[in-house]
A and B are shown apart, each in its own frame.
Chain A
Amino acid sequence: MIYMRKIRILIAKPGLDGHDRGAKVLARSLMDEGFEVIYTGIHQTAEDIIRSAIEEDVDVIGLSILSGAHMYHFRRVLELMKENGLDDVLLIGGGIVPEDDKKKLIEMGVNAIFNPGTSIKEISEFIKNNVRRIK
């Protein structure tokens, strides 16, 4: 097989939330969809996430948040993305996010929130259709 540039996705769990089974399953499933997934694990600060996103030159940042602190973490990551000029990177999230908050997050600039029950195909299609970089 030949090397070809794949879409690169960072999967991270911000804050104190340690429930990472879902994030691991997602990382593996996205690999099966042909993506390169950089899995950074739990207890990431927003600064950690941005640093990894820059060094890994990812196309997508995916945050998994089950702790209820989604409004805080997404706001902080969005701020740092702006500060660091990551305008061409998609920010998506998964976890337990109430509908009202979901609307607010999308307004803030998060590209998509996937709640429990979302199929991998749906996430994969969204990424393929929305990645901003021209390959």
Chain B
Amino acid sequence: MNIDEIMSDRKKIAKAISEVENGNTLIATEALRRIRGIDVIGVTGVPGSGKSTLISKIAYKMAKEGKKIAIIGIDPTSPFSGGAVLGDRIRMKELNRFDNVFIRSISTGGKLGGMSYHTPDVINILDAAGFDLIFLETVGTGQDEVDVMNIATTIMVVLVPTLGDEVQVIKAGQLEIGDIFVVNKADQGAADEKIKEMTLILKERKDGWIPKIMKSVAVTNQGIDEIIRALDEHKNFIIEKGIKNKKIMERMLYTIKQYALERIENIMYNENIEKYINQIKDGKDISRIIDEIMLEMGVNYGKGREIYRKVEGMGGEGP
């Protein structure tokens, strides 16, 4: 597949995404070389908080103005079957009328952190393909899934009024990464209380941005205009402060890092797991096998073993 051809129509973009999801590094690196550095709005938050619906409403207004918008929705892969139910499109039906919108659902592939290994590649393809803006909806998350910060230029964290007390709000993780916080479903529970709790932690970031917090009721379009204004404000802020280029560079480096991580996982699990299992069955010492795996990944484990031996009370001689 020629990259110029890929970028020319919807079907080819879709095929190119399948290719990179399938591990086609040629297309992935070609796209990486061609990225223009467009805005990527990462949308994250607990399952059922209304991420898909919010994106749909925001994208609807933007698409109406003629913006070319791509949406990536991520849902989890079953750790048992490897299959997945990808259901983000259900909430985005009304976007089907726009030719300038492209939606794709992808699975996590079992990777933790809220995205799959190839999510950066997918984003790069869409960036190179000429869209104006990408929405990246992470898998429904808990506290610790912050990978999206490596890809997005703006991060929107979606909350609901009914979750937890002030202590939840002061913990590390997702609530540290949001540029914009949206308390969705504000018609239920005590939304204003939630906002009051949140303002406790919304102090100026290192880059000078003061996170915004706002209310919405996505299904009835309440608060959508305000969110769009806040997104615009952050977009302009990072350009003015010269942070945007740094963020795009981070995305590029993160893309490459994912290749390395995937390679390591392949060495450990896919390519050699049978071999190791057989060796264990044949009575080979497990610590020898661990040494070999570490060596294959370029880590000399010898030093670690010495330290282990020197530490008292760690159970005899060690491995």
Contacts and interface: CB of A to CB of B under 8 A. Distances in A.
Given A3-B111, A54-B11, A37 B18 contact: no
A56 B96 contact: no
Interface string B83-110: 1111101100100100000111101011
Given A3-B111, A54-B10, A56-B105, A39 B118 contact: no
Contact of B85 (A2, A37, A43): A37
B89 A38 contact: yes
Contact of A3 (B21, B80, B89, B90): B21
A41 interface: yes
Most buried by A among B15, B84, B269, B270: B84
Given A2-B110, A36-B107, A54 B14 contact: yes
Contacts, number: 101
B117 interface: yes
Contact of A39 (B21, B79, B90, B265): B90
A57 interface: yes
Contacts of A83: none
A41 B18 CA distance: 23
Interface string A28-55: 1011111111111101110110011011
B103 A2 contact: no
B81 interface: yes
A103 interface: no
B78 interface: yes
Nearest to B117: A3
B19 to A, nearest CB: 9
A39 B92 CA distance: 12
A4 B107 CA distance: 11
What does DSSP make chain B's interface, helix, strand, loop or mixed?
mixed
B90 to A, nearest CB: 4
Given A55-B102, A56-B105, A34 B85 contact: no
Contacts of B10: 54-55
A32 B102 contact: no
B116 interface: yes
B22 interface: yes
Contact of A31 (B11, B23, B85, B93): B85
B77 interface: yes
A28 B78 CA distance: 11
Interface in A1-45: 1-6, 27-28, 30-41, 43-45
B41 interface: no
A40 B92 CA distance: 9
Interface in A64-121: 84-85
B269 to A, nearest CB: 6
- Give the 10 A-B CB pairs with smallest separation, nearest first: A3-B109, A1-B110, A31-B83, A41-B90, A57-B14, A5-B22, A34-B83, A57-B18, A34-B81, A38-B86
Interface of B: 10-11, 14-15, 17-18, 21-23, 77-87, 89-90, 93, 96, 102-105, 107, 109-111, 116-118, 262, 265-266, 269-270
Interface of A: 1-6, 27-28, 30-41, 43-45, 47-48, 51-52, 54-57, 84-85
Given A6-B107, A34-B83, A43-B93, 16 more contacts: A1-B269, A2-B109, A6-B83, A27-B85, A32-B78, A35-B83, A37-B84, A38-B89, A40-B89, A40-B90, A41-B93, A48-B96, A54-B11, A56-B105, A57-B14, A84-B11
